[in-house]
Structures are given as C-alpha cells and as structure tokens.
Structure 1
C-alpha cells in the first residue's frame, strides 16, 4: 500500500482549485507548479491532472479557454488555460476548511494535541 498515492488522490481537487485561485494556468503548468511546491513528493503527471480538470469543468468549478502560449518552449502553440469560477472559489473555501479540520484531527492523534 502506497500511502502517498492514497493521500494525493484525495487532495487533487482542492490543490487544482488552489493553483487556479490567483491566475489561469494550462495543464502542464499546473503539474510543474505542484511538483515544484511539493519538492517532487507528489510527482503529478498529466494522467493525474486531466481527469480531475475535466470533472471540475463538468461541475462548473473551472472554465477553459484556448490561447496561444505566451513564452518558453512551444511559445505561440495553442494551450488550454483553466480558470476557477465563483462556484470553484466557494468549493475551494469549503475544501480548505474541511482540510484544516481533518489535518488537525490527524495531528492530534499522531503527535498529540
């Protein structure tokens, strides 16, 4: 049993919403930022991200728009940028509150509280 994989699966949605909170991003950019912020512990790949993005879009939590890439490798190539919606911001706030409560309970059990 890989505990990291189980924990990661349960956090994909709130992490994606959090990544989109400040600005629109394209899929591979989200993967790179998450991997960097977690010092490679999550090792997200497109197969982790895109099904979640499609569900979030179907649920009205994010929208997408094709745009030309601004800079870097593949500049000018169309990329699908994702943006969080008002409904997505509300869901992020809800999930963040749940996470704080959950992690406090786990910490109380594991390290005392």
Structure 2
C-alpha cells in the first residue's frame, strides 16, 4: 500500500471501528481479547491497545454493558454486550452505511484506477 492508500484505509477503519464492535456483539457477548483477535484478523486494528479505550468510551456512552467473570482461577475476564442503545446505533449506522456506500460506488463507477 502507498502512504496515501494506507492513510485513507486508516481513517476509514477509525470511522467504522465502533460499529464493527457493535456488529460483533450483536449476537453474543464477547470478552476483550476475543474482540481484539477478531478485529485484528480482519485488519481493522493493529493491536488490542487501541480497542480498550474505545470499549471504555462505548461503555460510558451506554452502547455496551460489561460484566466480569473469573475463568478457571486465572485473571477475571470482562465481557462486553451490546445494549438497546447500542443496537439502535448499529441499525442507524447500517442504514447510513448502505446508502452512503451505494452513492460512493455510483460516483466512483469506473472512474478509478486499480
């Protein structure tokens, strides 16, 4: 990737990351490292360090709820679950994303180089 392409990709990832987290939580709760691994495998974050501040802001904003559970005598895991407010935000984002994506696709059409 060129520097310009990487900058564009980074900015787009930052803009959609919160909604990708909500999407991953839409069907089941997950713990932090599980979320980080999924997002990393999809190329949406570089490392888990960037995820936890986002999860904290999302919790403060009422988009996710947390619970802590001790697992096998090890360090307790914090599980994240989407809230009704989070679901409403995810639905709104999905609607905007589809419409915006369709408009961008129609504008770009064949007017870009590969």
Matched, 1:30 2:32: no
- 2:49 maps to 47
Q: CA deviation at 1:57?
A: 0.5
Runs of 4+ in 1 over 2 A off after TM superposition: 41-44
Q: 1:3 aligns with which of 8, 13, 23?
A: 8
Point out the structure with max Rg over C-alpha: 2
- 8 Å Cα contact 1:31/1:44 also seen in 2: no
TM, length-normalised to structure 2: 0.82
Q: Report SS of the residue matched to 1:42.
A: coil
TM, length-normalised to structure 1: 0.82
CA deviations 1:59-86 (Å, max 9, x no partner) are 111111111237xxxx743110000011
- Cα-Cα RMSD: 1.7
CA gap 1:111/1:55 in 2 versus in 1, 3 angstroms? same
For structure 1, the 5+ residue unaligned runs are none
Cα distance between partner residues in 2 of 1:31 and 1:49: 7
- 1:98 maps to 96
For structure 2, the 5+ residue unaligned runs are none
